[in-house]
Amino acid sequence: MSSIVIPSESLKDRVFNLVPPFMIVLVLLFWAYAPKAVTGNPWTLIVTSSAITVIVLLLEFVHERHSGWRMNAQEFFTDLFYVVLSATVIAWLSKTLAEDPLLAAKTALGISTTWMAQVPWLVQVMMVIVILEFGQYWMHRLMHNSTPFWLTHAPHHHITQLNAAKGAVGNPIELFLISLSVLALFDFDMTALFAGLNTLNVIATFAHANVKSNPPIWYSYVFTTIRHHSLHHSTDYENTRCNYGNSLILLDRIFGTYREGEGVLVGQDDRRRLSIWEQTIFPFQPLIDRIRGSRGVPAEPARSPSGQDGSGTGGAAAA
């Protein structure tokens, strides 16, 4: 009698596999049907975005993917620092240096998209997702193929474990760059805009989370999952040159950078964990080294992309 054990998914596994699509449906229902007094409150988006992160973080304790990625106090407070930094300083910089000038240019040039009011709500949500992700995909790919950009993105690849809020962890310059978008040029319905942003929150948060959830193919064909993104965080730099889509893995399938696989050990530079300070000065380290007169700092493979464009991986900051 042969006794081949075929690993089978437990009921718990199967339920967890459906949690990401279920949360997206909840997000859409909320923004579509919640009372105007709620959706119109300026704090609501902050509350829903935070709730998504907290819920996924809690799920890490309920159905863990890898024990090596288990949350601890150091990781928690580092992640929290970057979540707050992104929601305050980076958001302010993005609004002041990019969004406001874009809106001013839009007004000056008389650009308006009043036709947007005729576009069905769900289509508007999809447009928000595609426009944002299209920009992030190319920015992320650029970061893996151009040394100055890579120096800003590398700190995100130095994280040594994946958790719900890890998408927010990175060098501040990278966090600013990845926050840029042309969404302000379009007159989206506000609830459609926020539904799109929260949908991306759900997808990208799960794509960085230590949750044992492998959504069905109809989800993972279009949206990025932890399988795709953990491969992007591989310790082997070449394996990071793929799966650049922060939330829309479909873009990698279209532009030829999709790669199948999964990573467990994550990090760069022999998995050296960077402190917040080291992440902040990382892009300037070559210059600092040069000023100190220490010419010929060993060219660590993780510090510069290997030149050729093409397939790459990227783990965008939550970007």
Cα dihedral value 163, 167, 172, 174, nearest 10: 140
245 is an interface residue for Zn ion by CB under 5 A: no
188 or 244: whose CB is closer to Zn ion?
244
Q: What is the dihedral of CA 265, 286, 95, 167, to 10 degrees?
A: 0
Tokens representing residue 40 in the block: 């119109």
Cα of 171 vs its chain's centroid, Å: 14
Please, what is the end-to-end C-alpha distance for the chain in angstroms? Answer: 52
User: What DSSP designation does 234 have?
Assistant: B
The one among 155, 196, 267, 315 contacting Zn ion by CB under 5 A: 315
Cα Rg of the chain (Å, integer): 20
Site string for Zn ion, 260-299 (x = CB under 5 A): ----------------------------------------
Nearest approach, Cβ of residue 317 and Zn ion (Å): 7
| Per CB under 5 A, 305 contacts Zn ion | no
Q: What is the DSSP letter of 64?
A: B
> Is 314 an interacting residue with respect to Zn ion (CB under 5 A)?
yes
Token output for 83:
């979540």
CB of 169 to Zn ion, least distance (A): 8
Phi and psi at residue 234, in whole multiples of 5°? -55, 155
Q: How far apart are CA 247 and CA 240, in angstroms?
A: 16
Q: How many residues in the shown chain lie near Zn ion by CB under 5 A? A: 2
Nearer to Zn ion, 31 or 208 (CB): 208
Q: Which is nearer to Zn ion, 83 or 125 (CB)?
A: 83
In terms of CB distance, is 192 or 204 closer to Zn ion? Answer: 204
- Scanning 194-202, 220-228, 283-291, 309-317 for contacts with Zn ion by CB under 5 A, the matching segment is 309-317
Query: Interacting stretch for Zn ion, rule CB under 5 A, among 49-57, 216-224, 288-296, 308-316?
Result: 308-316
Binding site for Zn ion (CB under 5 A): 314-315
